[in-house]
Amino acid sequence: MLVPLESAQSHDSSDKYSFRSDDECPLHITVLDFLYNFTVPDLEMTWPCEARFYWLSLQPFVKFVRFLLSYGTPLIIIIGVILNTVSFAILNTPVSCDSSLSLYLKVLAISDNGALIFNYAVGIAKSHFTFVNDLFMNSQFLCDTNSIIMELFQFTSTWLVVSLTWARVIAIIFPFGAHNSNPERFAIISITTLTCVSFVISLTKLYSGGYETDSVFEFIPCQKKIKPWGSAMYFYIALSTWLPLIFIFIGNVLLVIHMKKLDALRRQLTRSFRQKINKTNKTSRTLLAVSMVYLILLLPLGIVETLELYWDVILIKYPEKSMKENKEYINWLEEKMLLKWCRGLFFHVYHWNFACNFFLYCLTGEKFRRVLIRKLKNCKIILTSKKSAKCLPWCKCDDRLKSIRTPSILLIKVVTFDESSVNDNITTQHNDVASIT
Protein backbone atom coordinates (compact mmCIF):
# COMPACT_ATOMS: atom_id res chain seq x y z
CA MET A 1 0.00 0.00 0.00
CA LEU A 2 1.13 3.56 -0.69
CA VAL A 3 1.21 6.37 1.88
CA PRO A 4 1.97 10.13 1.64
CA LEU A 5 5.27 11.86 2.15
CA GLU A 6 3.79 15.20 3.22
CA SER A 7 3.57 16.39 6.78
CA ALA A 8 0.38 17.13 8.67
CA GLN A 9 0.26 20.68 7.30
CA SER A 10 0.22 19.55 3.68
CA HIS A 11 -2.08 16.65 4.41
CA ASP A 12 -5.22 18.74 4.01
CA SER A 13 -4.85 18.89 0.25
CA SER A 14 -5.44 15.25 -0.62
CA ASP A 15 -4.87 15.78 -4.33
CA LYS A 16 -1.20 16.63 -3.78
CA TYR A 17 -0.23 13.41 -2.00
CA SER A 18 2.86 11.52 -3.05
CA PHE A 19 2.92 7.95 -1.81
CA ARG A 20 5.49 5.47 -0.65
CA SER A 21 5.50 2.18 1.25
CA ASP A 22 4.37 1.72 4.86
CA ASP A 23 7.90 0.97 6.03
CA GLU A 24 8.99 4.48 5.04
CA CYS A 25 6.23 6.31 6.96
CA PRO A 26 7.88 8.88 9.28
CA LEU A 27 5.19 8.36 11.94
CA HIS A 28 5.23 5.15 13.93
CA ILE A 29 1.98 3.38 14.67
CA THR A 30 2.37 4.21 18.38
CA VAL A 31 1.47 7.82 17.60
CA LEU A 32 -2.12 6.58 17.73
CA ASP A 33 -2.32 6.74 21.52
CA PHE A 34 -5.91 5.48 21.64
CA LEU A 35 -4.84 2.00 20.53
CA TYR A 36 -4.11 -0.39 23.38
CA ASN A 37 -3.08 -3.50 21.43
CA PHE A 38 -0.29 -3.05 18.90
CA THR A 39 0.04 -6.77 18.17
CA VAL A 40 -3.08 -6.92 15.99
CA PRO A 41 -2.26 -8.26 12.50
CA ASP A 42 -2.20 -5.79 9.59
CA LEU A 43 -2.31 -2.81 11.95
CA GLU A 44 -0.10 -0.79 9.60
CA MET A 45 -2.58 -1.35 6.80
CA THR A 46 -5.60 -0.58 8.98
CA TRP A 47 -4.07 2.72 10.13
CA PRO A 48 -2.12 4.06 7.14
CA CYS A 49 0.30 6.93 7.30
CA GLU A 50 -2.26 9.49 6.10
CA ALA A 51 -4.53 8.62 9.02
CA ARG A 52 -1.66 9.10 11.46
CA PHE A 53 -0.90 12.56 10.09
CA TYR A 54 -4.58 13.43 10.29
CA TRP A 55 -4.62 12.25 13.91
CA LEU A 56 -1.81 14.69 14.69
CA SER A 57 -3.71 17.53 13.04
CA LEU A 58 -6.76 16.58 15.12
CA GLN A 59 -4.85 16.72 18.42
CA PRO A 60 -5.95 20.23 19.58
CA PHE A 61 -9.62 19.26 19.33
CA VAL A 62 -8.99 15.83 20.87
CA LYS A 63 -7.07 17.33 23.80
CA PHE A 64 -9.88 19.80 24.42
CA VAL A 65 -12.50 17.03 24.52
CA ARG A 66 -10.28 14.86 26.71
CA PHE A 67 -9.86 17.77 29.12
CA LEU A 68 -13.63 18.21 29.35
CA LEU A 69 -14.19 14.50 29.93
CA SER A 70 -11.35 14.19 32.46
CA TYR A 71 -12.04 17.32 34.54
CA GLY A 72 -15.42 18.69 33.53
CA THR A 73 -17.37 15.46 33.83
CA PRO A 74 -16.17 14.69 37.42
CA LEU A 75 -17.29 18.19 38.39
CA ILE A 76 -20.69 17.53 36.81
CA ILE A 77 -20.94 14.23 38.70
CA ILE A 78 -20.22 15.84 42.08
CA ILE A 79 -22.55 18.79 41.50
CA GLY A 80 -25.27 16.59 40.00
CA VAL A 81 -25.31 14.01 42.80
CA ILE A 82 -25.45 16.70 45.50
CA LEU A 83 -28.13 18.81 43.81
CA ASN A 84 -30.27 15.83 42.81
CA THR A 85 -30.18 14.64 46.42
CA VAL A 86 -31.23 18.09 47.61
CA SER A 87 -34.01 18.16 45.00
CA PHE A 88 -35.27 14.77 46.14
CA ALA A 89 -35.29 15.93 49.78
CA ILE A 90 -37.25 19.08 48.93
CA LEU A 91 -39.69 17.29 46.64
CA ASN A 92 -40.25 14.71 49.38
CA THR A 93 -41.55 17.30 51.87
CA PRO A 94 -45.32 17.33 52.54
CA VAL A 95 -45.62 20.79 51.00
CA SER A 96 -44.03 19.77 47.68
CA CYS A 97 -45.30 16.22 47.20
CA ASP A 98 -48.93 17.19 46.66
CA SER A 99 -49.04 16.30 42.95
CA SER A 100 -48.11 13.48 40.61
CA LEU A 101 -45.46 15.71 39.01
CA SER A 102 -43.41 15.66 42.22
CA LEU A 103 -43.46 11.86 42.09
CA TYR A 104 -42.06 11.88 38.55
CA LEU A 105 -39.40 14.41 39.51
CA LYS A 106 -38.33 12.40 42.58
CA VAL A 107 -37.86 9.27 40.50
CA LEU A 108 -36.04 11.36 37.89
CA ALA A 109 -33.62 12.62 40.56
CA ILE A 110 -32.87 9.03 41.64
CA SER A 111 -32.43 7.88 38.05
CA ASP A 112 -30.15 10.82 37.21
CA ASN A 113 -27.94 10.01 40.19
CA GLY A 114 -27.79 6.40 39.06
CA ALA A 115 -26.73 7.46 35.57
CA LEU A 116 -24.08 9.83 36.95
CA ILE A 117 -22.60 7.16 39.22
CA PHE A 118 -22.87 3.92 37.25
CA ASN A 119 -22.40 5.34 33.77
CA TYR A 120 -20.09 8.34 33.96
CA ALA A 121 -18.28 7.93 37.29
CA VAL A 122 -17.52 4.27 36.60
CA GLY A 123 -16.41 5.12 33.06
CA ILE A 124 -13.98 7.75 34.34
CA ALA A 125 -12.68 5.39 37.03
CA LYS A 126 -12.10 2.64 34.46
CA SER A 127 -10.29 5.11 32.22
CA HIS A 128 -7.98 6.64 34.84
CA PHE A 129 -7.36 3.74 37.21
CA THR A 130 -6.08 0.48 35.80
CA PHE A 131 -6.99 -1.57 38.86
CA VAL A 132 -10.65 -0.51 38.54
CA ASN A 133 -10.80 -1.60 34.92
CA ASP A 134 -9.04 -4.84 35.85
CA LEU A 135 -11.91 -5.65 38.21
CA PHE A 136 -14.32 -5.58 35.29
CA MET A 137 -11.91 -7.33 32.95
CA ASN A 138 -11.46 -10.24 35.36
CA SER A 139 -15.11 -10.65 36.32
CA GLN A 140 -17.69 -11.46 33.66
CA PHE A 141 -20.52 -11.06 36.17
CA LEU A 142 -19.34 -7.60 37.23
CA CYS A 143 -18.90 -6.55 33.61
CA ASP A 144 -22.39 -7.69 32.56
CA THR A 145 -24.04 -6.24 35.66
CA ASN A 146 -22.43 -2.86 35.12
CA SER A 147 -23.51 -2.81 31.47
CA ILE A 148 -27.13 -3.55 32.41
CA ILE A 149 -27.32 -1.08 35.31
CA MET A 150 -25.63 1.64 33.28
CA GLU A 151 -28.14 1.28 30.46
CA LEU A 152 -31.07 0.96 32.88
CA PHE A 153 -30.56 4.36 34.51
CA GLN A 154 -29.67 6.06 31.23
CA PHE A 155 -32.74 4.74 29.46
CA THR A 156 -35.06 5.34 32.43
CA SER A 157 -34.00 8.99 32.78
CA THR A 158 -34.62 9.58 29.09
CA TRP A 159 -38.11 8.13 29.02
CA LEU A 160 -39.11 9.58 32.38
CA VAL A 161 -38.93 13.02 30.79
CA VAL A 162 -41.14 11.74 27.97
CA SER A 163 -43.55 10.16 30.42
CA LEU A 164 -44.01 13.22 32.61
CA THR A 165 -44.36 15.43 29.52
CA TRP A 166 -47.22 13.40 28.14
CA ALA A 167 -48.78 12.90 31.56
CA ARG A 168 -49.05 16.67 31.80
CA VAL A 169 -50.36 16.99 28.24
CA ILE A 170 -53.08 14.40 28.90
CA ALA A 171 -54.02 16.08 32.18
CA ILE A 172 -54.52 19.44 30.42
CA ILE A 173 -56.24 18.18 27.27
CA PHE A 174 -58.52 15.76 29.15
CA PRO A 175 -59.02 17.40 32.56
CA PHE A 176 -61.98 15.17 33.46
CA GLY A 177 -60.42 11.89 32.37
CA ALA A 178 -60.24 8.78 34.52
CA HIS A 179 -56.54 9.30 35.15
CA ASN A 180 -57.22 12.64 36.87
CA SER A 181 -59.37 11.00 39.53
CA ASN A 182 -56.23 9.43 41.01
CA PRO A 183 -53.17 10.95 39.30
CA GLU A 184 -50.66 9.52 41.78
CA ARG A 185 -51.83 5.98 41.07
CA PHE A 186 -51.57 6.65 37.34
CA ALA A 187 -48.03 8.01 37.85
CA ILE A 188 -46.97 4.95 39.90
CA ILE A 189 -48.27 2.59 37.20
CA SER A 190 -46.48 4.57 34.48
CA ILE A 191 -43.18 4.68 36.36
CA THR A 192 -43.32 0.97 37.24
CA THR A 193 -44.11 -0.01 33.65
CA LEU A 194 -41.35 2.23 32.33
CA THR A 195 -38.79 0.76 34.74
CA CYS A 196 -39.67 -2.81 33.77
CA VAL A 197 -39.47 -2.04 30.05
CA SER A 198 -36.15 -0.25 30.57
CA PHE A 199 -34.74 -3.27 32.37
CA VAL A 200 -35.76 -5.61 29.55
CA ILE A 201 -34.18 -3.33 26.95
CA SER A 202 -31.04 -3.03 29.08
CA LEU A 203 -30.56 -6.79 28.82
CA THR A 204 -29.68 -6.29 25.15
CA LYS A 205 -26.33 -4.88 26.33
CA LEU A 206 -25.29 -8.48 26.95
CA TYR A 207 -25.38 -9.11 23.20
CA SER A 208 -24.68 -5.73 21.62
CA GLY A 209 -21.91 -3.55 22.98
CA GLY A 210 -22.74 -0.37 21.12
CA TYR A 211 -20.64 2.66 21.96
CA GLU A 212 -19.17 0.99 25.04
CA THR A 213 -16.76 -0.88 22.77
CA ASP A 214 -15.52 2.48 21.43
CA SER A 215 -16.06 4.71 24.46
CA VAL A 216 -14.82 8.30 24.45
CA PHE A 217 -13.54 7.62 27.98
CA GLU A 218 -10.98 5.38 26.21
CA PHE A 219 -10.99 2.44 28.60
CA ILE A 220 -10.41 -1.12 27.45
CA PRO A 221 -13.82 -2.81 27.07
CA CYS A 222 -14.28 -5.55 29.62
CA GLN A 223 -15.65 -8.07 27.16
CA LYS A 224 -15.83 -8.67 23.45
CA LYS A 225 -19.34 -8.11 22.28
CA ILE A 226 -20.91 -10.42 19.76
CA LYS A 227 -22.26 -7.65 17.58
CA PRO A 228 -20.97 -4.17 18.36
CA TRP A 229 -22.79 -2.54 15.42
CA GLY A 230 -25.57 -3.41 13.06
CA SER A 231 -29.35 -3.40 13.23
CA ALA A 232 -29.36 -3.48 17.05
CA MET A 233 -27.67 -0.08 17.12
CA TYR A 234 -30.40 1.44 14.94
CA PHE A 235 -32.93 0.20 17.46
CA TYR A 236 -30.86 1.51 20.36
CA ILE A 237 -30.34 5.01 18.93
CA ALA A 238 -34.00 5.25 17.96
CA LEU A 239 -35.14 4.40 21.49
CA SER A 240 -32.54 6.51 23.28
CA THR A 241 -32.51 9.65 21.12
CA TRP A 242 -34.88 10.19 18.22
CA LEU A 243 -38.11 8.73 19.59
CA PRO A 244 -37.76 10.63 22.91
CA LEU A 245 -36.90 13.81 21.01
CA ILE A 246 -39.94 13.49 18.76
CA PHE A 247 -42.31 12.70 21.63
CA ILE A 248 -40.96 15.53 23.79
CA PHE A 249 -41.17 18.04 20.94
CA ILE A 250 -44.75 17.09 20.02
CA GLY A 251 -45.78 17.04 23.68
CA ASN A 252 -44.34 20.49 24.32
CA VAL A 253 -46.05 21.93 21.24
CA LEU A 254 -49.41 20.54 22.35
CA LEU A 255 -48.80 21.75 25.90
CA VAL A 256 -48.04 25.31 24.81
CA ILE A 257 -51.04 25.43 22.44
CA HIS A 258 -53.52 24.25 25.05
CA MET A 259 -52.04 26.49 27.75
CA LYS A 260 -52.57 29.50 25.49
CA LYS A 261 -56.13 28.40 24.76
CA LEU A 262 -56.88 28.03 28.45
CA ASP A 263 -55.39 31.45 29.22
CA ALA A 264 -57.43 33.08 26.45
CA LEU A 265 -60.61 31.39 27.68
CA ARG A 266 -59.95 32.39 31.28
CA ARG A 267 -59.34 36.00 30.32
CA GLN A 268 -62.49 36.03 28.24
CA LEU A 269 -64.58 34.69 31.10
CA THR A 270 -63.08 36.86 33.82
CA ARG A 271 -62.42 39.91 31.59
CA SER A 272 -59.09 40.35 33.32
CA PHE A 273 -55.75 40.47 31.55
CA ARG A 274 -53.61 40.85 34.64
CA GLN A 275 -54.34 37.66 36.47
CA LYS A 276 -51.61 35.77 38.20
CA ILE A 277 -50.49 32.53 36.64
CA ASN A 278 -52.59 29.73 38.08
CA LYS A 279 -51.26 26.54 39.63
CA THR A 280 -51.69 24.52 36.43
CA ASN A 281 -49.59 26.93 34.39
CA LYS A 282 -46.91 27.08 37.09
CA THR A 283 -46.57 23.30 37.06
CA SER A 284 -46.57 23.22 33.27
CA ARG A 285 -43.89 25.90 33.20
CA THR A 286 -41.56 23.74 35.31
CA LEU A 287 -42.25 20.77 33.07
CA LEU A 288 -41.61 22.82 29.93
CA ALA A 289 -38.26 23.99 31.28
CA VAL A 290 -37.12 20.44 32.14
CA SER A 291 -38.21 18.91 28.84
CA MET A 292 -36.95 21.75 26.62
CA VAL A 293 -33.50 21.75 28.20
CA TYR A 294 -33.37 17.99 27.77
CA LEU A 295 -34.40 18.40 24.14
CA ILE A 296 -31.67 20.96 23.47
CA LEU A 297 -28.92 18.93 25.16
CA LEU A 298 -29.87 15.60 23.57
CA LEU A 299 -30.41 16.78 19.98
CA PRO A 300 -26.72 17.36 19.02
CA LEU A 301 -25.72 14.00 20.49
CA GLY A 302 -28.49 12.24 18.58
CA ILE A 303 -27.43 13.83 15.29
CA VAL A 304 -23.76 12.88 15.72
CA GLU A 305 -24.56 9.33 16.86
CA THR A 306 -26.81 8.82 13.85
CA LEU A 307 -24.18 10.14 11.45
CA GLU A 308 -21.53 7.96 13.05
CA LEU A 309 -23.73 4.89 12.85
CA TYR A 310 -24.54 5.59 9.19
CA TRP A 311 -20.83 6.11 8.52
CA ASP A 312 -19.80 2.89 10.27
CA VAL A 313 -22.53 0.62 8.91
CA ILE A 314 -23.74 1.91 5.55
CA LEU A 315 -20.68 3.75 4.23
CA ILE A 316 -18.08 1.44 5.72
CA LYS A 317 -14.84 1.05 3.77
CA TYR A 318 -11.96 -1.41 4.04
CA PRO A 319 -8.24 -1.13 3.22
CA GLU A 320 -7.53 -1.81 -0.44
CA LYS A 321 -4.39 -2.29 -2.48
CA SER A 322 -5.63 -0.01 -5.21
CA MET A 323 -4.53 3.59 -4.67
CA LYS A 324 -7.92 5.05 -5.60
CA GLU A 325 -9.97 2.67 -3.48
CA ASN A 326 -7.59 2.95 -0.55
CA LYS A 327 -7.84 6.72 -0.74
CA GLU A 328 -11.59 6.36 -0.18
CA TYR A 329 -10.85 4.19 2.85
CA ILE A 330 -8.47 6.82 4.24
CA ASN A 331 -11.09 9.56 3.85
CA TRP A 332 -13.64 7.32 5.53
CA LEU A 333 -11.24 6.60 8.42
CA GLU A 334 -10.48 10.28 8.95
CA GLU A 335 -14.16 11.19 9.09
CA LYS A 336 -14.74 8.33 11.51
CA MET A 337 -12.12 9.72 13.92
CA LEU A 338 -13.62 13.20 13.66
CA LEU A 339 -17.15 11.92 14.29
CA LYS A 340 -16.02 9.98 17.35
CA TRP A 341 -14.59 13.04 19.05
CA CYS A 342 -17.54 15.18 18.04
CA ARG A 343 -19.62 12.54 19.81
CA GLY A 344 -17.32 12.94 22.82
CA LEU A 345 -17.88 16.71 22.87
CA PHE A 346 -21.67 16.50 22.67
CA PHE A 347 -21.64 13.58 25.08
CA HIS A 348 -20.03 15.89 27.63
CA VAL A 349 -22.60 18.60 26.89
CA TYR A 350 -25.35 16.04 27.42
CA HIS A 351 -23.92 15.27 30.88
CA TRP A 352 -25.21 18.62 32.12
CA ASN A 353 -28.75 17.32 31.71
CA PHE A 354 -28.24 15.19 34.83
CA ALA A 355 -27.12 18.14 36.97
CA CYS A 356 -29.20 21.13 35.84
CA ASN A 357 -32.71 20.14 36.98
CA PHE A 358 -32.18 21.69 40.41
CA PHE A 359 -31.57 25.10 38.83
CA LEU A 360 -34.62 24.70 36.60
CA TYR A 361 -36.79 23.92 39.62
CA CYS A 362 -35.47 27.02 41.37
CA LEU A 363 -36.10 29.25 38.36
CA THR A 364 -39.60 28.03 37.51
CA GLY A 365 -41.00 26.50 40.70
CA GLU A 366 -42.27 29.03 43.23
CA LYS A 367 -43.17 26.35 45.76
CA PHE A 368 -39.78 24.68 45.32
CA ARG A 369 -38.01 27.98 45.99
CA ARG A 370 -40.15 28.64 49.04
CA VAL A 371 -39.40 25.24 50.56
CA LEU A 372 -35.71 25.58 49.70
CA ILE A 373 -35.45 28.99 51.38
CA ARG A 374 -37.21 27.68 54.48
CA LYS A 375 -34.86 24.69 54.63
CA LEU A 376 -31.83 26.95 54.31
CA LYS A 377 -33.11 29.17 57.10
CA ASN A 378 -33.69 26.14 59.31
CA CYS A 379 -30.17 24.91 58.59
CA LYS A 380 -28.80 28.33 59.47
CA ILE A 381 -30.71 28.35 62.76
CA ILE A 382 -29.51 24.83 63.60
CA LEU A 383 -25.90 25.69 62.81
CA THR A 384 -26.14 28.89 64.85
CA SER A 385 -27.67 27.05 67.80
CA LYS A 386 -24.99 24.35 67.64
CA LYS A 387 -22.29 27.00 67.56
CA SER A 388 -23.87 28.72 70.54
CA ALA A 389 -24.13 25.39 72.35
CA LYS A 390 -20.43 24.79 71.79
CA CYS A 391 -19.56 28.25 73.10
CA LEU A 392 -21.90 27.96 76.11
CA PRO A 393 -19.70 25.63 78.23
CA TRP A 394 -16.73 27.93 77.69
CA CYS A 395 -18.80 30.93 78.69
CA LYS A 396 -19.94 29.13 81.83
CA CYS A 397 -16.36 28.15 82.57
CA ASP A 398 -15.24 31.76 82.26
CA ASP A 399 -17.97 32.84 84.66
CA ARG A 400 -16.89 30.19 87.15
CA LEU A 401 -13.26 31.25 86.87
CA LYS A 402 -14.26 34.83 87.47
CA SER A 403 -16.28 33.86 90.52
CA ILE A 404 -13.38 31.77 91.85
CA ARG A 405 -10.69 34.27 90.94
CA THR A 406 -12.29 37.24 92.77
CA PRO A 407 -12.50 35.68 96.27
CA SER A 408 -8.95 34.39 95.86
CA ILE A 409 -7.66 37.89 95.23
CA LEU A 410 -9.61 39.21 98.17
CA LEU A 411 -8.31 36.39 100.34
CA ILE A 412 -4.75 37.11 99.30
CA LYS A 413 -5.25 40.78 100.08
CA VAL A 414 -6.70 39.95 103.47
CA VAL A 415 -3.92 37.53 104.28
CA THR A 416 -1.31 40.03 103.16
CA PHE A 417 -2.86 42.75 105.22
CA ASP A 418 -2.99 40.57 108.33
CA GLU A 419 0.65 39.53 107.99
CA SER A 420 1.82 43.13 107.66
CA SER A 421 -0.25 44.12 110.66
CA VAL A 422 1.25 41.33 112.73
CA ASN A 423 4.77 42.35 111.73
CA ASP A 424 4.08 45.97 112.66
CA ASN A 425 2.70 44.93 115.99
CA ILE A 426 5.72 42.74 116.69
CA THR A 427 8.11 45.57 115.76
CA THR A 428 6.25 48.05 117.96
CA GLN A 429 6.26 45.70 120.91
CA HIS A 430 9.97 45.05 120.47
CA ASN A 431 10.74 48.77 120.48
CA ASP A 432 8.66 49.28 123.61
CA VAL A 433 10.55 46.56 125.42
CA ALA A 434 13.87 48.05 124.35
CA SER A 435 12.94 51.49 125.62
CA ILE A 436 11.90 50.13 129.00
CA THR A 437 15.10 48.27 129.47
pLDDT in tens, 74-105: 999 999 999 999 999 888 887 666 677 888 88
Instruction: Say how far apart CA 116 and CA 154 lie, in whole Å.
Output: 9
Within a domain: residue 244? yes
pLDDT for the residue numbered 314: 81
| Higher-confidence position of 198 and 175 | 198
The DSSP-derived string for 125-141 is: HHHH-HHHHHHHHS-HH
Sign of dihedral through CA atoms 387, 389, 392, 393? Answer: negative
**Averaged pLDDT, 3-27:** 46
Cα radius of gyration rounded to whole Å, the chain: 36
Inform me whether the pLDDT recorded for 177 exceeds 50.
yes
| Higher-confidence position of 321 and 78 | 78
Average per-residue pLDDT for the chain: 77
Q: What pLDDT digit, counting tens, does each position of 188-205 carry?
A: 899 999 999 999 988 888
State how many domains the chain has. 1
Within a domain: residue 358? yes
Inform me whether the pLDDT recorded for 274 exceeds 60.
no
pLDDT for the residue numbered 437: 40
Within a domain: residue 193? yes
Residue 106 lies in domain:
76-382
Identity (one letter) of the amino acid at 148? I
* Alpha carbon distance, N-terminus to C-terminus of the chain: 139
Within a domain: residue 419? no
What is the percentage of the chain residues whose pLDDT exceeds 90?
22
| Higher-confidence position of 182 and 27 | 27
Within a domain: residue 414? no
List CB contacts of 228: < 8 A, sequence separation 6 or more: 208, 209, 210, 213, 214
Within a domain: residue 30? no
- B/e letters for 222-242, b = 16+ CB within 10 Å, e = fewer, are beebeebbeebbeebbebbbb
List CB contacts of 58: < 8 A, sequence separation 6 or more: 337, 338, 341
pTM over 0.85: no
Instruction: Say how far apart CA 351 and CA 76 lie, in whole Å.
Output: 7
Output the domain CATH number for residue 276. 1.20.1070.10
Within a domain: residue 395? no
pLDDT for the residue numbered 344: 92
Q: What pLDDT digit, counting tens, does each position of 22-79 carry?
A: 557 888 888 888 888 788 887 888 888 888 899 999 999 999 999 999 999 999 999 9
Residues written for the chain: 437
pLDDT for the residue numbered 409: 41
pLDDT for the residue numbered 424: 52
